[in-house]
């Protein structure tokens, strides 16, 4: 089955760190650019970061630049998001999303993992 | 960053209705626009990409149009399962990819 499964979310104090993982299966993970998108409670979608298939190109939203690091391990079919210096406003459901081949939007999403930053 | 503005933010409709949601980009994005549907507690689902191309498996009652700065998503005959929140997204110029604020479609 073609799917993405996120893990690693939880409750963390302000200033703390968390590492999210996204396990891919059912497709050739190494052929796709991947993204993290988040959604704060009751709010809309916010793109967080993207990484190209070979990790050559990496981009971040200004809101997380310098605090979050995206990476991938194509041998393990896995995507990661290392989140440091967490703030209350980082509280959200974090989704990993596959970028469709040939610039077709984000065609596959995981179910998301909830990150709560609170003291 | 390119700003995406959807209208309306929410509205009510009945099953069988034809509904249209609009999305406007703050600058031209050619046809690099996607539409997503999101139901409560679920991940977004890609409906349309390249402004008007239906994603595989999406019912034909969904259609998209537009290019440049103005785009529309139309649902020709609302079904009960279509009540959800819809988002547009530009992928012409990034970073950042930007989403519209969402349009919540509710049952009248």
Q: Give the residue among A17, A22, A4, A18 at the shortest CA–CA distance from A73.
A: A22
Kindly tell me the burial class for residue B72, based on how many C-beta atoms sit within 10 Å of its own C-beta (0-12, 13-18, 19 or more).
Answer: middle
pLDDT at B53: 97
pLDDT at A103: 85
pLDDT at A36: 98
Long-range contacts of A67-76 (CB under 8 A, 24+ apart): A70/A36, A72/A29, A72/A34, A74/A29, A74/A30
Is residue B7 predicted with pLDDT exceeding 90?
yes
Residues of B in contact with A104 (CB under 8 A): 34, 46, 49-50, 53, 55
Q: What angle do CA A11, A39, A69 make, to 5 degrees?
A: 70
Nearest CA to CA, how far is A101 from chain B (Å)? Answer: 11
pLDDT at A102: 86
Nearest CA to CA, how far is B26 from chain A (Å)? Answer: 17
pLDDT at B29: 97
Q: Is B94 on the interface with A (CB under 8 A)?
A: yes
CB contact under 8 A, B49 and A109: no
Instruction: Report the residue of chain B nearest A110, measured CA to CA.
Output: B43
B39-94 confidence digits (pLDDT tens) = 999 999 999 999 999 999 999 999 999 999 999 999 999 999 999 999 999 999 98
* The length of chain B, given as a count of residues: 108
Q: Which residues of chain A have pLDDT under 50?
A: none
- DSSP-derived pairing of the beta strands A18-25 and A78-83: antiparallel
**Most B CBs within 10 Å, among A49, A100, A105, A112, to test the B interface:** A105
Please compute the mean of the pLDDT values over residues B98-107 and round it to a whole number: 97
């Amino acid at each position: 089955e073609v799917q993405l499964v996120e893990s690693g979310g939880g409750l963390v104090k302000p200033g703390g760190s968390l590492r999210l993982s996204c396990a891919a299966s059912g497709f050739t993970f190494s052929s796709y650019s991947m993204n993290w998108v988040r959604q704060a409670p009751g709010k809309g979608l916010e793109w967080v970061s993207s990484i190209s298939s070979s990790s050559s190109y990496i981009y971040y939203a200004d809101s997380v630049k310098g605090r979050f690091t995206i990476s991938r391990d194509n041998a393990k079919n896995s995507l990661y998001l290392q989140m440091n210096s967490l703030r209350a406003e980082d509280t959200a459901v974090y989704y990993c999303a596959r970028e469709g081949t040939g610039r077709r939007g984000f065609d596959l999403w995981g179910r998301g993992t909830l990150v709560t930053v609170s003291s | 960053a390119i700003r995406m503005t959807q209208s309306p933010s929410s509205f009510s409709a009945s099953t069988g209705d034809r509904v249209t949601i609009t999305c406007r980009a703050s600058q031209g994005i050619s046809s690099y626009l996607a539409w997503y549907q999101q139901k409560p507690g679920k991940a977004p689902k890609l409906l349309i990409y390249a402004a008007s191309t239906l994603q595989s498996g999406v019912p034909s009652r969904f259609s998209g149009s537009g290019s440049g700065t103005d785009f529309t998503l139309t649902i020709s005959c609302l079904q009960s399962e279509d009540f959800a929140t819809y988002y547009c997204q530009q992928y012409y110029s990034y970073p950042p990819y930007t989403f519209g604020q969402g349009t919540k479609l509710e049952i009248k």
